[in-house]
Structure 1
Amino acid sequence: MKNNFKKFGFLLAGVLAVSSCKKEYLETLPTADVSGETVFATTKGAQVALEGTYRMMYTSYTNHGNFGQKSYEIVSDLMGTDIVLHAQGYGWFNTDYQYTANASAADAGRSERIWYYYYTLINNANRIIANIDNATGTPAEREDIKGQALAIRAHSYFYLVNFFQQTYKGNETKPGVPLYTTPTSVGNPRGTVQQDYTQILADLKQAETLLTGKAQTVKSHISVAVTQGIIARVALQMEDYATARDYAKKARGTIAPMSGATYNAGFSSTTNTEWMWGLTVNIEQATIYASYFSHMDNTASGYAGLGSYKKITKALYDQIPATDARKTAFKAPGTTGLPDYTILKFRKPSASTWDGDYLLMRAGEMYLIEAEASARLGDDANALAVLTTLVKTKNPSYAFAGTGTALLNEILLQRRIELYGEGFQLNDIKRLKQGLVRPTGAGNHGAPNFDAVTYTLPDASPKFLMRIPQSEINTNKSFTAADQNP
């Protein structure tokens, strides 16, 4: 967040804008602007502004490697252990995989783009939160809009603090990211990790209260169940296992895990009954090559399908039983067509269009959080029961019977398999405090196709952190050079 802001109006399409002395936090079109006061005069106008904020989450920014939330989930996974880049291809995301992008503080670099994206969402949420109480409309409408805005703000801060600092536990007093809870023209200093998490949880708890009893009319909107799911994610990262367990169970409710056939249907439609939160992307709003499926659908004519293939490691593939439907989410070695181990899990609904939806949360994640948290709390019986319920839908012969450390390790393995490519790797590496250990050799990372350069990193390595954008350090009067990450 820069320390100088211009005052901008609001697009009728619902995209809010603020800017710094150097750049706009959200580029807007020069037409159809109306004042913020007009937008927030009614809940109908505020809802339009909220819809524009959601749309930001899948909009393309600056280049074909920045297209909202899913682009930074790709970054998280490519900085992990289980996705292999097959070849240099067109270059997008290569430097994330090689652990060099996050070392740059330059404008339009990865760190600056992440900072820009999440603080733009936060600014938009802050404008909504600051104005919604006075909007004409029903109390329920005001509560619904405010609750969603609070959850968006919390979700954004959670990603920011985890990209720009190590995990919560053991790092509570270290510098986190600046907190802004009202529209402002003054740049704030870095808060501590604890301060960031305290605000995240306060926002989410208030959102939970406001959203209780409100219907989720479309999957793109944050509901009370999604809010509870975010709380479960945050609690897991904090190692607050009792809260993680309880909220994961509360969030998933009666949602059943998807079948093996549904698992292999492409992960591209909010009609999937297990999806709790997903962005509906229609053809008119699709960003074509600058999109998630361009980079992750290896069967389509996007960047992935044109040679920038992404693959599972042989090491993880070999741990998926032949009886498990999830094994067919990857190209079997020795068969014709795509390179061995190519990811087939993520595919557009139609090869001729770009209207695939973006998954942000599903019940399967909640089953895994509940299972892991239960195991860490010593409740092996519940952990095993929840895990078995999830896995058997894809592998009917699944019959794991271990306890203790063996059970916990099995849950973590199933988490890597079940949530493969869904954006959790970097946070998991940090919270598990095991460092980065990429398998090498045939079918894994490294030559002959692509040299990843970085194969191992110790726990809490500075290389896990994004750099604070240099433009932020230069223009935010609350910052000094000492605020830069190591």
Structure 2
Amino acid sequence: MKNIVKKLAPLALAVLVLTGCEKEYLDTTPASAVPNEMVFGTTEGATVALNGIYRSMWTSWDSRHDLFGPKSTDLSMDMMGNDVITPVRGYGWYVSDYNHSAYGTATNISRSGGSWRSYYRTINNANLLIQNVDGAAGTQARKDYIKGNALFLRAHSYFYLINLFQHTYKGHENAPGVPLYTEPTTEGKGRGTVQEVYNQIIADLDAAEALLAGQTKDHVSHINQKTVKGLQARVALQMENWERAATKANEARQGYTLMNAATYKAGFGAANSEWMWGLQIPNDQSTIYASFFSHMSNTAAGYAGLGSTKLITRELYEKMSATDVRKEIVQAPTADNKGTYHNYASLKFKLPITGSWAADYVMMRASEMYLIEAEALARLGRDGEAVAVLETLVKARDPQYAAPATSGTDLIEEIIMQRRIELWGEGFSILDLKRLNRPIKRITGTAANGEHVAALILVTERSITDPQILYRIPQDELNNNKALSAGDQNP
């Protein structure tokens, strides 16, 4: 961490502010020489630093077109799972994630190294804000807003780090986690336990929830108390804390309106009434090919549109009825695979304006909260309530829907299936397989039939508790962090 902290500490000070296309810079020449009081002396300066953290969450790294912050990690986790297909090697991006070789490399620009640096960059810069904002000149409400956002960002980063670099929470509470930093430092730490990391995540989110009470977010890229509750629900689901998951998910979704069919078919490229958090990317600051839409939008002039198309599995496609809007945004299969797009190609993710890369990355939606609440209620034996919540969501997609199972294990399985359909492509595959203790199991055949091509995926089946599934700690971290040794590396 020592080496990485020195590189990352100034980053929040020198990036663009999230105000549409307007460009504002702090005077950072050199950035490392800027004293804290120039940045954190006022809440205005601290807001610029906060905006910088958010912007850093979608910028690209090292000229790699598959390293662009949290959404690149989300895409990696989906490519590792069962439900996203890429039929051809194309330009090669994400093929190593698809065949399970990407995360086994420990270089800085590998999948493991990129995710480690991205999340720890956010953590370090959040720590700078958390440590300094209380002393800034400005109103208490404004300090609370900035600190609440920073605490959320730290918790969000640790949640993904702990799930990438270790198995799921339940049954692994005492396993080695990731180094835990709650203040800016250049001194490395050892791997805290999974339990210790989750304790910090919960503490940060609880503190953020209190600080953001009654606050309105500045920008679509920022978060508010409802977003905090949404992440609390996501974390509780992973921990199998069903009561907290149900409660927080219900609280989080209040006030949000589920998308209607027209909005759903318009594509997930612009924040709407259902979005609880998104990252807004102006056209002049977009990373174009090194972006989520390049890799996932089959309608854009990016990698997916140029041949590395992304498909939904036939299994999920056939689980949707003819009246389900989610089926309408998948290319219906034809015998000769000569439709407008490849058989089973998803049209879920679209750039809002043709010829422009201005778009929003979806980070959290109210629909996820309905699914968390429904599953948690079902696991608590509150089947009637679970069915009501599930049907409220799915009827917004398919007016003819009625839950085919209304109790017990069958109901839980239906909720999980609806979760796979609704959240397809949004980054939940590996998280869900881990917490459900279900294997990676890809149905193979031909991509035209909505099945994985074995020659491309290589790994057709793997236990989710196989140590090989874990991301590797970057070798630079092991070399420079005196609290870590070669024995701390994941297998």
TM-score normalised according to structure 1 size: 0.94
C-alpha deviation, 1:256, in angstroms:
2.5
Q: SS state of the match for residue 177, structure 1?
A: strand
Q: How does 1:289-438 map to 2 (within 5 A)?
A: 289-334=289-334, 336-402=339-405, 403-438=407-442
Q: Distance in 2 between matches of 1:280 and 1:481?
A: 40
CA 1:323–1:129: 2 relative to 1, 3 Å: same
TM-superposed CA distance for 1:9, in Å, is: 4.9
| Residues 267-278 of structure 1 aligned to structure 2 (within 5 Å) | 267-270=268-271, 272-278=272-278
Q: Does 1:232 align with 2:237?
A: no
Cα distance in 2 between the residues matched to 1:6 and 1:97: 33
Superposed CA offset, 1:375-428 (max 9, x none): 000000110000000000111110125211111100000000111111100100
Structure 2 equivalent of residue 56 of structure 1: 56
Counterpart of 2:111 in structure 1 is 110
The question of whether the paired residues in 1 share the 8 Å contact of 2:314 and 2:451 is answered with: no
Within-5 A mapping of 1:138-217:
138-217=139-218
Give 3-state SS (helix, strand or coil) of 1:417's partner: helix
Mapped partners of 2:30, 2:484: distance in 1: 36
CA contact (8 A) 2:4 2:477 kept: no
Match of 1:41 in 2: 41
- The alignment partner of 1:350 has SS state of coil
SS at 2:179 equivalent? coil
Q: Percent identity?
A: 51
Distance 1:484 1:293 in 2: 33
Deviations 1:422-481 (A, max 9, x none): 110010010000111111124244438x62100111231112210111111111100111
Equivalents in 1 of 2:294, 2:441: separation in Å?
28
**Match in the other structure for 1:24:** none
2:20 counterpart residue number: none
Report what 2:480 is aligned to: 475
Aligned counterparts of 1:446 and 1:274: Cα–Cα separation in 2: 32
TM-score computed with the length of structure 2 as normaliser = 0.93
1:302-321 CA-partner distances (Å, limit 9, x unpaired): 01111001101112111111
Alpha-carbon shift at residue 15 of structure 1 (Å): 7.1
- Give the deviation of 1:195 after TM superposition: 0.2
Structure 1 residues 132-158: Cα deviation after superposition (integer angstroms, max 9, x where no partner) = 010000000001100100000000000
Change in Cα spacing, 1:109 to 1:401, as seen in structure 2 (3 Å) is closer
Distance change >3 Å, CA 327–CA 4, structure 1 → 2: closer
The reply on whether 1:460 has 2:465 as its aligned counterpart is yes
Could you tell me whether the CA contact under 8 Å between 1:15 and 1:49 is conserved in 2?
Answer: no
The 3-state SS of whatever aligns with 1:478 is coil
Q: Give, as a single letter, the amino acid of the residue that structure 2 aligns with 1:161.
A: I
Q: Could you tell me how far apart the structure 1 residues matched to 2:310 and 2:6 are?
A: 42
Describe the superposition over 1:33-78 as per-residue Cα deviations: whole angstroms up to 9, x where unpaired. Answer: 4432210000000000000000011111111111111111100100
The within-5 A match list for 1:18-37 is 31=29, 33=31, 34-37=34-37
Partner of 1:378: helix, strand, or coil?
Answer: coil
SS at match of 2:218: coil
- CA distance in 1 between counterparts of 2:65 and 2:377 reads 41
Q: Would the aligned equivalents of 1:57 and 1:67 in 2 still touch at CA under 8 Å?
A: yes
Q: CA offsets per residue over residues 253-281 of structure 1, 9 Å max, x none?
A: 132221122111110012x1100100111
Q: What's the CA shift string for 1:102-161, capped at 9, x where partnerless?
A: 111123111011000000000000000010010000000001100100000000000000
Name the CA shift for 1:30/1:41 in 2 (closer, same or farther; >3 Å): closer
Aligned pair in 2 of structure 1 residues 98, 4: CA closer, same or farther (>3 Å)?
Answer: closer
Q: What amino acid maps onto 2:471 in structure 1? A: M
Q: Is the 8 A contact 2:221 2:279 kept in 1?
A: yes
Contact persistence 2:443–2:451 (CA under 8 A): yes
Letter in 1 for 2:295: H
Which residue is equivalent to 1:23? Answer: none
The aligned amino acid for 2:302 is: G
Deviates more, 1:156-165 or 1:290-299: 290-299
**Is 1:447–2:448 an aligned residue pair?**
no
**Separation in structure 2 between the aligned mates of residue 134 and residue 29 of structure 1, nearest angstrom:** 21
Provide the aligned length of Structure 1 versus Structure 2.
473
Residue 285 of structure 1 and its aligned partner are, at CA, apart by 1.2
Query: Secondary structure of the equivalent of 2:2?
Result: coil
Which piece of structure 1 moves more, 210-219 or 372-381?
A: 210-219
Contact 1:445/1:452, CA 8 A, preserved across alignment:
no
Unaligned runs of 5+ in 1: 17-27
State the partner residue of 1:2.
2
Distance 1:29 1:304 in 2: 39
CA-based RMSD: 1.8
Give the SS at the match of 2:311. Answer: strand
Cα offset for 1:31? 4.4
Q: Please tell me whether the aligned partners of residues 180 and 189 of structure 2 are also in contact (alpha carbons under 8 angstroms).
A: yes
Alignment correspondent of 1:256: 257
Report the secondary structure of 2:85's partner residue.
Answer: strand
Aligned to 1:243: 244
Residue 324 of structure 1: how far off its partner (Å): 0.7
The residue identity in structure 2 corresponding to 1:462 is P
Pick the structure with more helix per residue: 2
Q: Which amino acid aligns with 2:202?
A: L
Equivalent residue for 2:288?
A: 288
Output the CA distance in 1 between the equivalents of 2:408 and 2:360.
38
- What letter is aligned with 1:476? N
Question: Equivalents in 1 of 2:12, 2:210: separation in Å?
Answer: 30
Q: How far, CA to CA, are the matches of 1:233 and 1:156 in structure 2?
A: 13
Verify the 8 A CA contact 1:4 1:187 in the aligned structure 2: no
CA contact (8 A) 2:126 2:153 kept: yes
> Could you tell me whether the CA contact under 8 Å between 2:87 and 2:453 is conserved in 1?
no
Deviation at 1:185, TM superposition (A): 1.2
